[in-house]
Structure 1
Amino acid sequence: MGLSAERLNGDLDALAAIEPAFGAALARVGYPAPRIRARGYATLLRTIVGQQVSVKAADAVWRKLEVLGDPTDPAVIAALSDEGLRACGFSRQKTGYARSLAEEVTSGRLNLDHLPEDDEEAIAQLVRVKGIGRWSAEVYLLFAEGRADIWPAGDLAVQIEVGRILSLPERPSERLTRELAEAWRPYRGAAAIFTWHHYGAGADAAPI
């Protein structure tokens, strides 16, 4: 499971000691709520279902899928025809993605109970699934496995809020966002969750 509130708050306190700008931002907007998802196939399938659609639309697709079987079982996707998946609301592209995920899991090539301990190796396994890019893999490892040093530097909101928190003159690039965070190891997961919280709180710095 993801980082608990106790772990998240403790990591943010440690981060604030390393980077005082985070301490000041924490005083302004407070601690974020934990972001926790269940480990396993269903969470990744929900990620695919939710791509480029509203939460309401994704929920509707999921409910239709539940009528046809247990969506936490990859055999359900494998057994459904393309027409059956389209009737649930899957696009042709998402049908391919869902089948890729089901095949990786049922074949044993992707074991979500025993991903490699090394974060980069775990990301490499996850992105073998069609439709799961680096960002989705990183978010899964952070929210579902609670890996404390995951740093999704390619996320636009993370870049924006790193710029705001550090009072940079412009939004940092992905490369610079990654470089700046090297000093924040091993608390970069908490830093990422905090940047999303800071973004959602409409922190008092002007957009950059």
Structure 2
Amino acid sequence: MGLSAEQLRTSLDALAEREPAFAAALAYAGYPEPRIRERGYVTLLRTIVGQQVSYKAADAVWKKLEALLGDASDPARIATKTDEELRAAGLSRQKSGYARSLADEVLSGRLDLANLPDDDEEAIAQLVRVKGIGRWSAEIYLLFAEGRLDVWPAGDLAVQVEIGRILGLPERPSEKQIRELAEGWRPHRSAATVFAWHHYMFDPETKAAKNSAI
């Protein structure tokens, strides 16, 4: 369900009051558009499909996978297909394993995507039990599909680069530094994340990033 336009605006206005650099960046780049994904199995499966490939390539593979499975929203369909069939649809052996891991976690009930824990760290811990879903993927899921307000993917390179630019830092902050920098932005760090990506793609120096899958 993601963060609504109203939620983004409210959080970014609050950040602008706390951090003058955010106010200046907001005046420059404007408010970002909402980024909303469907909650549940399909979004995580698409995340696996899209790993380490371009958006265009991921979309092509997804269409082939949908055609193969018939109903991509049913995790039981993955188990009925061989690795050869999944490879023909564009999934590598590794991604086929990841897809099977996700389906197994969901079908067994170990991962209940309709009732993830309210605590973000506990929710992340459940999501990363799926092979192929690391912390970054889990955080992006909570941000885009669940609309959680205070998710902070500090390991994201674009976030590090653009927060450094926004704050006028001499060099890109490390993951540890950016976590420390953002402590005072709670509980609005999800909006800060979305704005960092928006500012990154808006900046004339990073025009090429407009084709990013972020």
Q: TM-score range by the shorter chain?
A: over 0.9
Aligned position for 2:66: 66
Q: Which residue of 2 aligns with 1:32?
A: 32
Aligned residues of 1:100 and 1:130 also touching (Cα < 8 A): yes
1:166 to 2:138 alignment: no
Which stretch shifts more, 146-155 or 53-62? Answer: 53-62
Distance change (3 Å), C-alpha of 1:203 and 1:178: farther
Q: Tell me if the contact between 1:29 and 1:203 (Cα under 8 Å) persists in the aligned partners.
A: no
SS at match of 2:94: helix
- Does structure 2 retain, via aligned residues, the 8 Å contact 1:127–1:137? yes
Task: Map Cα deviations across residues 141-187 of structure 1 (whole Å, 9 max, x no partner).
Answer: 00000001000000001001111111111110000000000000000
For 2:11, the equivalent position in structure 1 comes to 11
Aligned partner of 2:210 in structure 1 is: none
**Structure 1 position 203, deviation (Å):** 5.4
| 1:86 equivalent in structure 2 | 87
Amino acid across the alignment from 2:181: L
| Length-normalised TM-score, structure 1 | 0.96
Tell me whether 1:123 sits opposite 2:124 in the alignment. Answer: yes
C-alpha distance in structure 1 between counterparts of 2:173 and 2:116, whole Å:
31
- Give a deviation string over 1:28-74, Cα, whole Å, max 9, x none: 01000111100000000000000111222211211112222111110
Q: 1:174 is aligned with what amino acid?
A: E
Structure 1: how far apart are the matches of 2:90 and 2:181? 41
Letter in 2 for 1:195: A
| Percent identity of equivalent pairs | 75
The aligned length equals 205
Deviations 1:71-124 (A, max 9, x none): 111011121111111110100110110000000000000000000000000000
Contact 1:15–1:184 at 8 Å: present in 2 too? yes
Q: Aligned equivalents of 2:66 and 2:141: distance in 1?
A: 22
Identify the range of structure 1 (87-96 vs 58-67) with the bigger mean alpha-carbon deviation.
58-67
Query: Which stretches of structure 1, 4 residues or more, deviate above 4 A after TM superposition?
Result: none
Q: What secondary structure, in the 3-state scheme, does the structure 2 residue paired with 1:197 have?
A: helix
Q: Which residue of 1 aligns with 2:46?
A: 46
Which letter maps to 1:64? K
Alignment of 1:105-184 (within 5 A): 105-184=106-185
Q: Is the 8 A contact 1:2 1:35 kept in 2?
A: yes
Give the whole-Å Cα distance in 2 for the aligned partners of 1:29 and 1:65: 37
What value does the CA root-mean-square deviation take over the aligned residues?
1.2
Provide the C-alpha distance between the structure 2 equivalents of 1:79 and 1:159, rounded to a whole number of angstroms: 42
3-state SS, counterpart of residue 15 of structure 1? helix
Structure 2 unaligned blocks of 5 or more: 207-214
The TM-score normalised by the length of structure 2 is 0.93
Structure 2 counterpart of 1:111, which letter?
D
Consecutive unaligned residues in structure 1, runs of 5 or more: none
Give the equivalent residue in structure 1 for 2:77.
76
> What is the alpha-carbon distance in structure 2 between the residues aligned to residue 83 and residue 7 of structure 1?
45
